[in-house]
C-alpha cells in the first residue's frame, strides 16, 4: 500500500503541467472555464496542438502514432488538463473507434483511418442509439443489406454527439435477423458525404444543439468498410465497454468543478456573509467534497489495477454511477450558488460573446445550462440503471 506517485509519475505530471502552461491558448481555456461552447475549429486547434506533442492518442500503440501511456499516466493527464481548463479531447475517433479498429480492423483499415484521425482530416461520430433503441441497444433496426460489393443502409440514428461536425460515422447496423438480437449486428464505417445521409440537429434542454439525428436513405457503403466479421459487431461494441473506460469516473472534471464551486461560494455574498459559510450550503458542498476524496481513491484503485494489465470489468460500472452522481451534484450546487443570476438565458454569450449589458458574474450564464446538460451523464453510455444491472450480473451474480 502506497498512496504516493512514483518519481517517474511525478515527473510526468510536471511535464504535462509545463506543456499545458506553455501551449494551451488562454483563448480556449477561458472559454472552457466559463462553460462557453467551443467552435469546431477551436476543438481542432487543440487536437492539433496535442498531436504535435505526440499526446493526442494516449492509448494507441506507438507504431500508429500513439503515446502508449498506461492508465495512471492517462489519469494524471486528465487531472492536469481539467485543472488547466483544457478543452476535452473529442473522443469518438480517438477513444471509441480507434481501439475497435486496432483490435478487430484489417491492417488496411488501420493504416488508412488511424492517421487521418490524428491529422484531423476525419472527424468521426458515433451511430449507435436509435429512436427505438436506447438502453436496449441490441434492438436497433437500421438495416444494411448486401448488394454485390456494397451494403445498402436504411434507417435512423439519434443522439449523435457533434455529428454536425463529422464527415464519418461508425455505425452498428442490422445485417441478420436470425438468433438473438445481438447476433445480427455489424460494425460499419460510413462516409457522411454519401448520397442519402441527412443530419438534423436536436436542440436540447440547455438550448444547445450538441446532438443530432442521422438519417440513412438507401446509402451505399462499400463492403470494405465493414470492420471485422459480419454479424460480430455487438462483440466489438462491447469490447469498448470494458477496455477503454478508465476515465469514466470523470475525476478530473469533478476536481475542476469543485475548485470553481468553492471559489464561487467564497466570493458570493448571501445574507451578509460568504455563501461558503451558510451552514446548509457548506454541508452539501463538504459532503460532495468528501465523496470526491473517496472517489479519487476508488478510481485510482481501479486505474492502478488496469495499469498492471487487469482490464476493469464491472468496476467501470461502479465508477460510472458514483462519478456521475458527484458530477451532477457539483453542477447542481453551482447552479444554486449562482442564485437569481442563473436565470438569464444568454446563448450568444455561451457561443463566445460577452454579458456586459446584464452585469452578471462571469460564471453565471453557463450555470443553469451546464446543470441541464449534465443530466445526460446518468443517461448516456448505458444509463445508471443499466450499470446497476451489469453490477447485478457480473459482481453480485444474482
Q: Would you say 183 or 289 has its CB closer to other proteins?
A: 289
Question: What gap in Å lies between CA 40 and CA 128, rounded to an integer?
Answer: 22
Q: 214 vs 101, 139, 159, 209, 297, CA distance in Å?
A: 22, 17, 9, 13, 40
Q: Would you say 68 or 291 has its CB closer to other proteins?
A: 291
147 labelled catalytic: no
Residue 9 Cβ, how far from other proteins at the closest point, in Å? 7
Bridge partners (DSSP) of residue 185 are 174
Residue 285 Cβ, how far from other proteins at the closest point, in Å? 8
Burial of residue 90 (CB within 10 Å: 0-12, 13-18, 19+) is: buried
Q: Is 140 helix (H, G, I), strand (E, B) or coil?
A: coil
Q: Would you say 296 or 336 has its CB closer to other proteins?
A: 296
Question: What gap in Å lies between CA 318 and CA 387, rounded to an integer?
Answer: 7
Question: What gap in Å lies between CA 393 and CA 258, rounded to an integer?
Answer: 34
Question: What gap in Å lies between CA 261 and CA 195, rounded to an integer?
Answer: 48
Q: Would you say 199 or 282 has its CB closer to other proteins?
A: 282
Angle at 331 between CA 326 and CA 333, to 5 degrees: 95
Residue 313 Cβ, how far from other proteins at the closest point, in Å? 13
Residue 95 Cβ, how far from other proteins at the closest point, in Å? 23
Long-range CB contacts for residues 73-78, cutoff 8 Å, separation at least 24: 73/9, 73/12, 74/246, 74/247, 74/303, 75/246, 75/247, 75/251, 75/252, 75/299, 75/300, 75/303, 76/5, 76/9, 76/12, 76/13, 76/16, 77/16, 78/247, 78/251, 78/252
Full DSSP string of 335-391: HHHHGGGG----HHHHTT---TTTT--TTHHHHHHHHHHGGGGGTSSS-HHHHHHHH
Q: Is 5 helix (H, G, I), strand (E, B) or coil?
A: coil
Q: Would you say 193 or 398 has its CB closer to other proteins?
A: 398
Residue 236 Cβ, how far from other proteins at the closest point, in Å? 26
Residue 86 Cβ, how far from other proteins at the closest point, in Å? 23
Cα 243 to its chain centre, rounded Å, is: 15
Give contact residues for other proteins (rule: CB under 8 A). Answer: 1-6, 9, 72, 266, 276-277, 282-283, 286-287, 289-291, 293-298, 300-301, 304-305, 318, 321-322, 385, 387-389, 391-392, 395-398
Q: 272 vs 236, 278, 306, 357, CA distance in Å?
A: 58, 10, 49, 26
Annotated catalytic residue, options 42, 78, 244, 315: 244
Q: Would you say 359 or 397 has its CB closer to other proteins?
A: 397
Residue 264 Cβ, how far from other proteins at the closest point, in Å? 14
Q: Are 88 and 232 in contact (CB under 8 A)?
A: no
Q: Would you say 298 or 332 has its CB closer to other proteins?
A: 298
C-alpha cell at 164: 454536425
Active-site residue set: 244
Amino acid at each position: 500500500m502506497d498512496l504516493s506517485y512514483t518519481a517517474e509519475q511525478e515527473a510526468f505530471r510536471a511535464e504535462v503541467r509545463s506543456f499545458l502552461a506553455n501551449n494551451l491558448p488562454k483563448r480556449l481555456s477561458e472559454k472552457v472555464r466559463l462553460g462557453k461552447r467551443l467552435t469546431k475549429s477551436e476543438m481542432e486547434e487543440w487536437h492539433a496542438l496535442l498531436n504535435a506533442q505526440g499526446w493526442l492518442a494516449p492509448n494507441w500503440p506507438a507504431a500508429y502514432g500513439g503515446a502508449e501511456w498506461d492508465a495512471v499516466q492517462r489519469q494524471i493527464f486528465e487531472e492536469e488538463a481539467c485543472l488547466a481548463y483544457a478543452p476535452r479531447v473529442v473522443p469518438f475517433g480517438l477513444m471509441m473507434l480507434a481501439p475497435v479498429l486496432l483490435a478487430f480492423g484489417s491492417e488496411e483499415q488501420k493504416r488508412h483511418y488511424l492517421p487521418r484521425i490524428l491529422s484531423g482530416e476525419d472527424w468521426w461520430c458515433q451511430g449507435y442509439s436509435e429512436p427505438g433503441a436506447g438502453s436496449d441497444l441490441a434492438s436497433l433496426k437500421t438495416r444494411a443489406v448486401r448488394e454485390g460489393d456494397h451494403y445498402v443502409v436504411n434507417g435512423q440514428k439519434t443522439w449523435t454527439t457533434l455529428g454536425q461536425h463529422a464527415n464519418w460515422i461508425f455505425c452498428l447496423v442490422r445485417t441478420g435477423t436470425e438468433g438473438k438480437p445481438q447476433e445480427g449486428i455489424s460494425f460499419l464505417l460510413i462516409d457522411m458525404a454519401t448520397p442519402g445521409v441527412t443530419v438534423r440537429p436536436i436542440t436540447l434542454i440547455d438550448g444547445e444543439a450538441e446532438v443530432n439525428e442521422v438519417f440513412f436513405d438507401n446509402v451505399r457503403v462499400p463492403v470494405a468498410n465493414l470492420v471485422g466479421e459480419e454479424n460480430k459487431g455487438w462483440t466489438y461494441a462491447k469490447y469498448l465497454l470494458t477496455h477503454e473506460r478508465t476515465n469514466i469516473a470523470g475525476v478530473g472534471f469533478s476536481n475542476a468543478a469543485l475548485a470553481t464551486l468553492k471559489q464561487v461560494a467564497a466570493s458570493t455574498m448571501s445574507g451578509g456573509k460568504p455563501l461558503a459559510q451558510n451552514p446548509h450550503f457548506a454541508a452539501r458542498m463538504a459532503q460532495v467534497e468528501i465523496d470526491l476524496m473517496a472517489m479519487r481513491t476508488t478510481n485510482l484503485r481501479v486505474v492502478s489495477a488496469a495499469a498492471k494489465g487487469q482490464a476493469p470489468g464491472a468496476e467501470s460500472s461502479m465508477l460510472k454511477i458514483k462519478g456521475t452522481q458527484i458530477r451532477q451534484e457539483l453542477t447542481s450546487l453551482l447552479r444554486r450558488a449562482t442564485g437569481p443570476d442563473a436565470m438569464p438565458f444568454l446563448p450568444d454569450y455561451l457561443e463566445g460573446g460577452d454579458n456586459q449589458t446584464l452585469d452578471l458574474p462571469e460564471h453565471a450564464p453557463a450555470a443553469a445550462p451546464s446543470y441541464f446538460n449534465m443530466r445526460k451523464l446518468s443517461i448516456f453510455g448505458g444509463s445508471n440503471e443499466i450499470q446497476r444491472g451489469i453490477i447485478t450480473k457480473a459482481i453480485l451474480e444474482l
